[in-house]
Chains A and B, each alone.
Chain A
Amino acid sequence: MESTIKHEESAKSAVINKNINLFIDNKAVPAGSGDTLLLAARKAGIHIPALCYHEKIKPHGACRLCIVEIVKKGKSRIVASCAYPAEEGLQVFTESLKITEIRKHLVELYMALFPYNEEIKALAKKYGLKETRYHKENNYCILCGLCVRYCAEVKKENAIGFIGRGTSKKVAFIPDSSYFKYCVNCMECMDICPTGVFPSNYGIERLPQTSDF
């Protein structure tokens, strides 16, 4: 992991001080070197939904809400904007027909997983989704990993981690019973959690209560 950060830094420094111009939704947007598409869009006031992104942590690419369509050499591709680096002249579409179709499916899936998040509610409204056709999980934890990564990368504590894989993957304190050994009790992971499940799991009542669309 360490090395990936280093790599990203070196990738950044390699192109430093070079301003990039790209097009997001046909609008010319300047970007700093090393910026991701998501960052460039945010700086230009263009909203791209994102649930697993945090400016202090490395991109994770798990929520997939930030997908955009890019066109390069006449070829179109779908990428996660939170990780894709800004490139000179790149055409980016945040709400192309294809993106709308796919993100709409994705939001419907989220509605079965965790319908309470404001971003998900807003997107559902935007796409005219009132109900989900999928089996309701109401799992609360969407495994965005913000808590895990924040603890590891910002607090350098590694008190929380993922366990299991596939559909049985979970977030847990590591090792579950003796987490106090590592945990500095900063509580910051609780604030960072986009679903609020984290506080509730540990006895703090912060669950959002409505799921109206």
Chain B
Amino acid sequence: MSEKEIKKISGLEDLVKISEKLKSLMEGKTVISICSGTGCKAYSSDDVHGKIVEELQKKIKESKTNADNIVIKKTGCHGYCERGPIMVIHPGQTCYLGVKPEDAPDIVESAINEKVVEKLLYKDENGSSIEKENDIPFYKHQQRIIFDCNAKIDPYSIDDYIMIGGYQALAKALKEMPPDKVLSEVKKSNLRGRGGGGFATGLKWETTKNAAGDTKYVIVNADEGDPGAYMDRSILEGNPHSVLEGLIIAAYTIGANHGYIYVRQEYPFAVKSIENAIENAREYGLLGKNIMNSGFDFDVKVHRGAGAFVSGESSALMAAVEGNVGEPRLKYIHTAVSGLWSKPTNLNNVETYANIPHIINNGAEWFRSTGTPGSSGTKIFSLVGKVNNTGLVEVPMGVTLRDIIYKIGGGIKGGKKFKAVQTGGPSGGVIPEALLDLPVDFDELYKAGSMMGSGGMIVMDESDCMVNVAHYFIKFLADESCGKCVPCREGLRQLLYIYERIINGQGQVEDLKLLEDLCILLENASLCALGGTAQNIVVTTLKYFRQEYGAHIYYKACPAMVCKPLIRYEISSDKCSGCTRCVKVCPVDAISGKPKEAHAIDQSLCIKCGACMEECPEKYSAIAKSTGIFEYEKEKEAVFADKGQ
């Protein structure tokens, strides 16, 4: 379809017509969709794409039957990034994992002949192949609403989005629903913000809508500062129009004519993708003056943010858009009433906006039928850490952590024992095994002392030290906060001192109380939610893994053998044959010994790198790693009961 023909879309009928037409053009075609998300790109999916195109061209030149029936598409992230590059062949949904450029001839050939390339299919634990994407365990237990389209469309093609029904929600809202009606639908849907706090989206919109003033703003928060989380990036890269459509609907409902999309600097592809989407939407008359002849004007700018984690906080983000330092401010008057340039401003997360078109298209009732009464819809999580399948997973609210980790994640890597899952990023806490059957929604996670956050989920196994984990997050926050208010800045500084002490084997009994006192201070006296939630990681690790703190403090032992100052490498003189391999490999010359004589490690020099243990031939296995004093193992149960743990 030529662009001229469909320029300036006039409304719903137009969209439906175009969609039908585009669909009919695709009828009977085989689509090879190649993931071009950041994850797969890192595995050279662009090379795979290039090869496939080349291969197909060859076949077309050879006038191979059926060859011209094949369409190649570069799509956004499919979620299973770990197994990338991912390829799905539609309509059969044949899913190939770990595709290499050299597989291109086989893939094209078999697509033409409607066959499958066996070796690229997913293999289950018994070694049998699974062909269809949705039958692969990683996908089977998910429910993809927001993410579903990622695998179907080329994010750089607005036509693709329109083909799958894109912008029909906007058209419907503009033509058939007065702003109040849209608002009541969003309120009824029970949608809660996906950016962390879980605030009711409808209520927030209402506050801004009712706030005094003619100039209002809407903003997309794509700062995504949580380490390890990348769902917002993947939505922007894979389906930018869904966010844009949600944003325009929000603007229409609230009465805003200007919007901003705040994207972190580190996301160049997301910026490119959304900028392209904005341009295309403008060409089609979906942005700008008099959108679809409705009389409603709206336009949007992309703001590239170069801030720290704290810049994702609402008032900090708005300060950054204004050109000031991205620092939170006192906001006893809500940003919904006085935000950007002191005008009423609605800020939502990327995923929150992406839910809006679905709610308008299918209705609040439909939306509420997924999830729990308190948290409706689905949520995308970034499942990382010690699970077999890592990636982005979208599940209905209310599934249990166990299902996410074991059914979708395929359990713990290397047959190790599960220890904890950290949710909610730096604002969240850890959840222990005993709570694995917790249904995942805003309120349940909060009750357990953690948070939904933006959806980070880091799985930890027995080889992770919880004291070390808490230290990591506190360090992150100390570096990534604004440093403005005393309780947060100085509290984090003192927390760091205490953690460093404990990890270095200098922890004192009083430190536990100090940690707890600092938590109370941070929670109650901080200026913004960064300080207010920073204590979650300390409180939850203390609550669920107090024994581990005890081991570090009382026994100078790190049970997971992570904290270097507390572990020792020792050579057993009985087992050592004097092969000198460890002597040679030690980077600090801490090992002494002549050939054929038992070696020994000088503990004062040892940097605990573990190279010697790796080097020691298996037949000798003369080097052992240990921690703390011997009694710890024997006495731990009794002692902790004793000390009133």
Q: Would you call B342 and A6 a contact (CB within 8 A)? A: yes
Which chain A residues (145-170) contact chain B, with CB distance < 8 Å?
A: 145, 162, 164-169
Which chain B residues (217-242) contact chain A, with CB distance < 8 Å?
A: none
Q: Would you call B525 and A106 a contact (CB within 8 A)? A: yes
Q: Which residue of A lies closest to B496 (CB)?
A: A167
Distance in Å from the Cβ of B515 to the closest Cβ of chain A?
Answer: 11
Any B CB within 8 A of the CB of A62:
yes
Stretch of B98-106, B324-332, B428-436 that contacts chain A: B324-332
**Interface residues of B: mostly helix, strand, loop or mixed?**
helix
Q: Contacts A4-B342, A62-B527, A165-B308 hold; do A143 and B332 have CB atoms under 8 A apart? A: no
Distance in Å from the Cβ of B313 to the closest Cβ of chain A?
Answer: 13
Interface size class of B (residues with CB under 8 A): 35 or more
Contact of A169 among B329, B489, B491, B520 (CB under 8 A): B489
Contact of B525 among A6, A64, A84, A143 (CB under 8 A): A64
Assembled-state Cα–Cα distance A166/B483 (Å): 4
Q: Would you call A137 and B341 a contact (CB within 8 A)? A: no
Chain B residues near A102: list those with CB within 8 A: 520-521, 524-525
Chain A residues near B526: list those with CB within 8 A: 64
Distance in Å from the Cβ of B197 to the closest Cβ of chain A?
Answer: 16
Q: Would you call A83 and B480 a contact (CB within 8 A)? A: no
Q: Would you call B324 and A1 a contact (CB within 8 A)? A: yes
Q: Contacts A3-B341, A78-B525 hold; do A106 and B487 have CB atoms under 8 A apart? A: yes
| Central interface residue in A67, A133, A164, A167, by most chain B CB within 10 Å | A167
Q: Which residue of A lies closest to B485 (CB)?
A: A62
Q: Contacts A101-B520, A134-B494, A166-B308 hold; do A64 and B330 have CB atoms under 8 A apart? A: no
Chain A residues near B518: list those with CB within 8 A: 105
Contact of B486 among A4, A79, A142 (CB under 8 A): A142
Assembled-state Cα–Cα distance A71/B405 (Å): 43
Contact of A61 among B322, B485, B490, B497 (CB under 8 A): B485
Chain A residues near B514: list those with CB within 8 A: 133-134
Chain B residues near A192: list those with CB within 8 A: none
Q: Would you call A166 and B497 a contact (CB within 8 A)? A: no
Q: Contacts A3-B342, A63-B486, A102-B520 hold; do A166 and B492 have CB atoms under 8 A apart? A: yes
Q: Would you call A109 and B342 a contact (CB within 8 A)? A: no
Q: Contacts A64-B527, A106-B525, A109-B521 hold; do A143 and B493 have CB atoms under 8 A apart? A: no
Q: Would you call A105 and B521 a contact (CB within 8 A)? A: yes
Any A CB within 8 A of the CB of B478:
yes
Type the 1/0 row for A43-69, where 1 means its CB is closer than 8 Å to any CB of B. Answer: 000000000000000011111100100
Q: How many A-B residue pairs have CB under 8 A?
A: 119
Chain B residues near A80: list those with CB within 8 A: 330, 527
Q: Contacts A67-B525, A78-B524 hold; do A61 and B330 have CB atoms under 8 A apart? A: yes
Chain B residues near A62: list those with CB within 8 A: 484-486, 527
Any A CB within 8 A of the CB of B517:
yes
Any B CB within 8 A of the CB of A7:
yes
Which chain B residues (490-522) contact chain A, with CB distance < 8 Å?
A: 490-494, 496-497, 510, 514, 517-518, 520-521
Contact of A135 among B324, B342, B497 (CB under 8 A): B497
Any B CB within 8 A of the CB of A112:
yes
Q: Which residue of A lies closest to B484 (CB)?
A: A62
Chain A residues near B482: list those with CB within 8 A: 165-166, 169
Any A CB within 8 A of the CB of B605:
no
Q: Which residue of B lies closest to A51 (CB)?
A: B486
Chain A residues near B525: list those with CB within 8 A: 64, 67, 78, 102, 105-106
Distance in Å from the Cβ of A184 to the closest Cβ of chain B?
Answer: 23
Distance in Å from the Cβ of A109 to the closest Cβ of chain B?
Answer: 5
| Central interface residue in A67, A145, A165, A168, by most chain B CB within 10 Å | A165
Assembled-state Cα–Cα distance A166/B316 (Å): 14
Any A CB within 8 A of the CB of B257:
no
**Interface residues of A: mostly helix, strand, loop or mixed?**
mixed
Any B CB within 8 A of the CB of A110:
yes
Assembled-state Cα–Cα distance A110/B489 (Å): 11
Assembled-state Cα–Cα distance A143/B310 (Å): 18
Distance in Å from the Cβ of A66 to the closest Cβ of chain B?
Answer: 10
Any B CB within 8 A of the CB of A123:
no
Distance in Å from the Cβ of A106 to the closest Cβ of chain B?
Answer: 6
Any B CB within 8 A of the CB of A85:
yes
Distance in Å from the Cβ of B603 to the closest Cβ of chain A?
Answer: 27
Q: Which residue of A lies closest to B307 (CB)?
A: A165
Assembled-state Cα–Cα distance A5/B17 (Å): 51
Chain A residues near B510: list those with CB within 8 A: 133
Any A CB within 8 A of the CB of B641:
no
Distance in Å from the Cβ of A2 to the closest Cβ of chain B?
Answer: 9
Any A CB within 8 A of the CB of B481:
yes
Assembled-state Cα–Cα distance A112/B514 (Å): 13
Assembled-state Cα–Cα distance A61/B525 (Å): 10
Any B CB within 8 A of the CB of A11:
yes
Q: Would you call A113 and B490 a contact (CB within 8 A)? A: yes
Distance in Å from the Cβ of B160 to the closest Cβ of chain A?
Answer: 41
Any A CB within 8 A of the CB of B479:
yes
Any A CB within 8 A of the CB of B25:
no
Assembled-state Cα–Cα distance A134/B517 (Å): 11
Distance in Å from the Cβ of A128 to the closest Cβ of chain B?
Answer: 15
Q: Which residue of A lies closest to B310 (CB)?
A: A165
Assembled-state Cα–Cα distance A161/B517 (Å): 32
Any A CB within 8 A of the CB of B338:
yes
Q: Which residue of A lies closest to B333 (CB)?
A: A11
Assembled-state Cα–Cα distance A117/B520 (Å): 24
Any B CB within 8 A of the CB of A42:
no
Chain B residues near A166: list those with CB within 8 A: 308, 477-483, 489, 492
Distance in Å from the Cβ of B499 to the closest Cβ of chain A?
Answer: 12
Q: Which residue of B lies closest to A170 (CB)?
A: B483
Any B CB within 8 A of the CB of A98:
yes
Assembled-state Cα–Cα distance A162/B489 (Å): 14
Chain A residues near B481: list those with CB within 8 A: 165-167
Assembled-state Cα–Cα distance A64/B522 (Å): 11
Chain B residues near A133: list those with CB within 8 A: 510, 514
Chain A residues near B342: list those with CB within 8 A: 3-4, 6-7
Report the 10 A-B pairs with minimum CB-CB distance, sorted nearest first.
A169-B483, A7-B342, A61-B330, A83-B330, A105-B521, A135-B497, A167-B478, A3-B342, A166-B481, A64-B525
Q: Could you list 27 examples of A-B contacts with CB < 8 Å?
A: A4-B342, A6-B342, A61-B329, A61-B484, A64-B525, A67-B524, A78-B524, A83-B332, A101-B520, A106-B486, A106-B487, A106-B521, A112-B494, A133-B510, A134-B494, A135-B497, A137-B490, A137-B493, A165-B310, A166-B477, A166-B480, A166-B481, A166-B492, A167-B493, A168-B483, A169-B482, A169-B489
